[in-house]
């Protein structure tokens, strides 16, 4: 016979064991969620190497300008056309590189990089790349002067000179817009239009330019072919550097500065010394307003009846 106390003990034992033994549950097992990482902006800017490069090129441009000024004093004013233009080219470059070396003439382009993920929300990275807009101001002043050197050397007509200079200014302006473009569509769209403008410049120098220089002596024609080809090769490298640097951001800001520095030294001081030394003997004299200014012939005089 089972006593009531034994029954109570058995019930207590079952109740306690049911609490200790885990039971199956139909609720899903929670998975760990990814931790939210704050978006920290990334800065791409000039370093010590880039700053030193800017100072070195500043000195080169300054010394070249002084040398061109000294060379111009050794020739009469009638033959100083190329000396004056070439001196202005390196003078503008000197000011530009001084501004960049001292920390002026630059700003930051804001670039947003989107990364898509399957199971978590997309992430965005803010990149701020340093862009030296002083370089574009330099190019907007010096590259038309370089074109004038080549155009006057070849004897290019005024219409072709105007088209080449306007295309050059459009090319530089579009390059500036592309450097500050926030999306890939903006950057490469402006870049493509700038390349089309550059092809217009190439056409004006190669087709009308060669046709015009054929009317001159053989030494001038050879000089135009060599120095013009040299210039076009260098100018073709500029958009390549831009595409690798500001465009695709494959190069650091320092690497971009070094590449542009080499091209600028070759395209300005080296170009200038080559032109002035090679064309010194064949330089033509320019009379009229360039040499004599406004004379009294044909000038209006107060008090004349007619």
Largest CA distance in the chain: 155
d(CA 191, CA 79): 39
Q: Are 234 and 266 in contact (CB under 8 A)?
A: yes
Q: What was the pLDDT predicted at 276?
A: 93
* pLDDT-wise least confident of 121-135, 139-153, 188-202, 235-249: 121-135
Give the bridge partners for 128, in sequence order. Answer: 43, 110
**pLDDT > 90 in the chain, percent:** 61
Helix/strand/coil for 30: coil
Would you state the CATH architecture of domain 42-282?
Answer: Up-down Bundle (1.20)
* pLDDT tens sequence across 82-130: 999 999 999 999 999 999 999 999 999 887 776 666 666 666 678 889 9
Q: What was the pLDDT predicted at 35?
A: 47
d(CA 201, CA 150): 12
Q: Is the pLDDT confidence value at 293 over 90?
A: no
Q: What was the pLDDT predicted at 289?
A: 65
- Comparing 223 with 15, the larger pLDDT belongs to 223
Exposure letters 14-27 (e unless 16+ CB within 10 A, then b)? eeeeeeeeeeeeee
Tokens of 239: 């958009």
* pLDDT tens sequence across 213-256: 998 888 889 999 999 999 999 999 999 999 999 888 899 999 99
Report which of 92, 246, 234 is spatially closest to residue 150, judged by C-alpha positions.
Answer: 234
pLDDT band at 36, cuts 50/70/90? Answer: very low
Domain spans of the chain, in order of start: 42-282
Q: What was the pLDDT predicted at 291?
A: 66
pLDDT band at 26, cuts 50/70/90? Answer: low
For 288: left if phi > 0, alpha if psi spans -120 to 50, otherwise beta; the answer is left
Q: What was the pLDDT predicted at 96?
A: 97
Q: How does the average pLDDT of the chain come out, rounded?
A: 84
Taking the complete model, does pTM exceed 0.85, yes or no? no
pLDDT band at 44, cuts 50/70/90? Answer: confident
């Amino acid at each position: 016979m089972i006593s009531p106390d034994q029954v109570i003990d058995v019930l207590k034992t079952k109740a306690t064991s049911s609490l200790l033994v885990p039971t199956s549950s139909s609720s899903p097992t929670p998975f760990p969620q990814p931790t939210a990482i704050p978006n920290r902006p990334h800065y791409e800017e000039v370093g010590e190497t880039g700053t030193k490069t800017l100072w070195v090129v500043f000195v080169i441009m300054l010394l070249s300008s002084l040398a061109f000024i000294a060379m111009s004093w050794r020739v009469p004013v009638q033959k100083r056309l190329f000396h004056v233009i070439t001196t202005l080219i390196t003078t503008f470059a000197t000011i530009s590189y001084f501004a960049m070396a001292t920390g002026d003439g630059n700003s930051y382009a804001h670039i947003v990089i989107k990364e898509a993920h399957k199971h978590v929300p997309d992430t965005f990275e803010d990149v701020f790349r340093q862009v030296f807009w002083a370089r574009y101001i330099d190019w907007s002043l010096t590259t038309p002067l370089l074109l004038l050197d080549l155009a006057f050397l070849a004897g290019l007509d005024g219409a072709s000179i105007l088209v080449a200079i306007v295309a050059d200014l459009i090319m530089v302006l579009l390059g500036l817009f592309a450097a500050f473009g926030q999306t890939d569509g903006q950057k490469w769209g402006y870049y493509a239009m700038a390349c089309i403008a550059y092809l217009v410049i190439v056409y004006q120098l190669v087709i009308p330019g060669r046709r015009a220089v054929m009317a001159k002596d053989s030494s001038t024609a050879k000089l135009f072919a060599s120095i013009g080809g040299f210039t076009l090769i260098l100018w073709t490298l500029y958009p390549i550097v831009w595409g690798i640097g500001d465009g695709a951001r494959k190069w650091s800001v320092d690497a971009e500065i070094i590449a542009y520095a080499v091209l600028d030294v070759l395209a300005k001081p080296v170009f200038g010394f080559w032109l002035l030394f090679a064309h010194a003997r064949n330089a033509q004299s320019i009379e009229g307003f360039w040499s004599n200014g406004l004379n009294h012939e044909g000038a209006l005089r107060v008090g004349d009846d007619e």
